[in-house]
Amino acid sequence: MSKLKKILKSCTTCIPSKKTSRQLITLRSSESYKRCLKHLKDLGISPFKTVSSNHMIGCYFNTNVSSDILVRHPYIKKVEKDFQIRAHGLLQNKPIKYRVPAGPLLTPATFPASVPWNICRVQAPAAWSTTKGKTIKVAILDTGIANHPDLRITGGINVIDGGSFADDNGHGTHVAGIVAATGKSGKLTGVAPAVNLYAVKALDKNGDGYVSNIIEGINWCIKNRMNVINMSFGILNSESSKTLHEAIKRAAKQGIIMVASAGNSGITYGKIDEPASFSETIAVAASTITNKIATFSSRGSGIGLTAPGENINSTWLNGTYAKVSGTSMSSPHVTGGAALLLAGRPCLSVTEVKRRLLKNAIKLKGYSSHAQGAGLLQLNHIFDV
């Protein structure tokens, strides 16, 4: 028995229990990845996740056995916990009532009734004379997307169990509506209503998931040439995943724009969640109808932009609509904005798309860049040279 096989035998197990933990093994090469899989098969151990392009294998480890000896093996690049992920949405039980502010950020009366205040606030309709996002492929990496009269779903995948990518939570459907609701019902139009919308179901019916599923979802997006990925979730307990960051970097190298919600930890936490904190993403904070930064919106270094995120009406399960709050709702405004910009200016690089979005934002008074980044997303001048 080889040394690696002996180590795997001592560390890994077939059956999850209270005495096991989910761990991600990243190998250094395709050859070592294949060899490790063969060893596990010989030992009768079936990984819960394999992603060949990342040389990643997910296994259950015995918590009473140290994995240090495995990490030191020359075939192994790293071993890391399969961290838990949670959606950044907060369901509103009661609508929040506000006095609409006066000033230049008011919703123009000329906008159609099917365009909600938040879509008007980011000036999306002003870009529609140039494009509504046609030809751009947008992936919603979330709880899936449910069938809805106001959504046109092009395709997708379920990376949890290979089943349906239909939403069984509501969060992903809500996010999708902010990006791409078509307005066909006359009730709701999203930022970029003509994009090709893809559901990548990586979070379960509770809005929870694991880094391993997110990585597989990102890998699918790369393989299927997505242009923009929306990620309205964060790693729990302020933990940090190098394995996830490597997957994000790989997608960035392929020219994919990735937009992520900053988090819902408010003013006291002091930093934003991963993956929003990764420099390869555009991190988005949440604002209110009164142009304030929402109290729940995380503050910290790395925020790129702000977009509406409180009391946002969008598509929901069973063909209905719901009002939800969270930086989860802010992120898809920027995702839709990036899609519009790519559709109208297809030759732009990822760096240039980000630069234009940040350049055209409006600073909200009384808030630092740690709260709002470059300011409130504005899409009315994104095509200007």
Residue 48: other Cβ atoms inside 10 A = 15
Q: What is the pLDDT of residue 186?
A: 87
Q: What is the pLDDT of residue 185?
A: 87
Q: What is the pLDDT of residue 95?
A: 46
Q: Domain locations in the chain?
A: 3-82, 87-372
Provide CB contacts within 8 A for 166, sequence distance 6+: 144, 145, 146, 147, 199, 201
Q: What is the pLDDT of residue 154?
A: 98
Residue 269: pLDDT band with limits 50, 70, 90: confident
Which residue type, as a one-letter code, is found at position 213? Answer: N
CA distance 385 to 383: 6
Q: Over 80: is that where the pLDDT of 125 sits?
A: yes
Q: What is the pLDDT of residue 109?
A: 47
The average pLDDT across 90-102 equals: 50
* Fold of the domain spanning 3-82: Alpha-Beta Plaits (3.30.70)
The average pLDDT across 201-226 equals: 98
Comparing 104-118, 170-184, 322-336, 346-360, the range with the smallest average pLDDT is: 104-118
Q: What is the pLDDT of residue 237?
A: 86
CA distance 120 to 346: 24
Q: What is the pLDDT of residue 113?
A: 76
Q: What six digits make up the tokens of 24? A: 């991600």
Q: Shortest CA distance to 361 belongs to which of 298, 282, 299, 297?
A: 282
Is 142 one of the annotated active-site residues of the chain? yes
Indicate which residue of 142, 150, 167, 273 is catalytic: 142
> Percent of the chain having pLDDT more than 70?
94
Q: Shortest CA distance to 30 belongs to which of 5, 10, 55, 51?
A: 55
**What's the gap between Cα 183 and its chain centre?**
24
322-371 pLDDT, tens digit per residue, is 999 999 999 999 999 999 999 999 999 999 999 999 999 999 999 999 99
Mean pLDDT of the chain: 94
**What's the gap between Cα 69 and its chain centre?**
34
Residue 96: pLDDT band with limits 50, 70, 90: very low
Is 381 one of the annotated active-site residues of the chain? no
Indicate which residue of 39, 171, 174, 333 is catalytic: 171
Residue 102: pLDDT band with limits 50, 70, 90: very low
* Fold of the domain spanning 87-372: Rossmann fold (3.40.50)
Which residue type, as a one-letter code, is found at position 157? Answer: I
Indicate which residue of 232, 277, 287, 328 is catalytic: 328
10-33 pLDDT, tens digit per residue, is 999 988 999 999 999 999 999 999
